[in-house]
Amino acid sequence: MQQSIKPLLTLSVNAKLEIYKKILMEKNKLSELTDEELLIEKKKLKKRKIINALIIGFLAGIVAVGIVSWSLGARKNLIAFLIPMLFPMYFIYRIIKNSKKDKELENVLKERNIK
């Protein structure tokens, strides 16, 4: 039984190593870009930030309306309230988590004094 578990553990470690290598390659890729390419990435980053802000605002509005309608409603079923509210909160979390990856690009831009 333990012999069948060992390949799974090795596979997951290898998968983690592959992910780590991809992250390191992405960091190296950003540092190897020319200034013109970094300016293009900066424009994409600016558009991404605006779109993410709009999506987060829309999802936060959904949560706010849900909270208000639940608090003013006659039936206070907590489960029926939480399940629909988890979806927008999860998407907000994912957007914020993914935006932390953009910090690497901002750090490279600051190192090279590109504005």
Question: pLDDT of 55-107, one tens digit each?
Answer: 999 999 999 999 998 888 888 888 888 888 999 999 999 998 888 778 888 88
In the chain, where the domains are located: 1-32, 34-115
For 8-17, what is each residue's pLDDT tens digit?
Answer: 455 567 676 6
Selection from 32, 25, 24, 45 nearest residue 106 by Cα: 45
Read off the pTM: 0.65
> Which positions ≥6 away from 105 have C-beta within 8 Å?
30, 38, 41, 42, 45
> Are 38 and 109 a contacting pair, CB within 8 Å?
yes
Burial class (CB in 10 A: 0-12, 13-18, 19+), 99: middle
Within a 10 A sphere around the Cβ of 17, how many other Cβ atoms? 10
- The pLDDT of residue 10 is 56
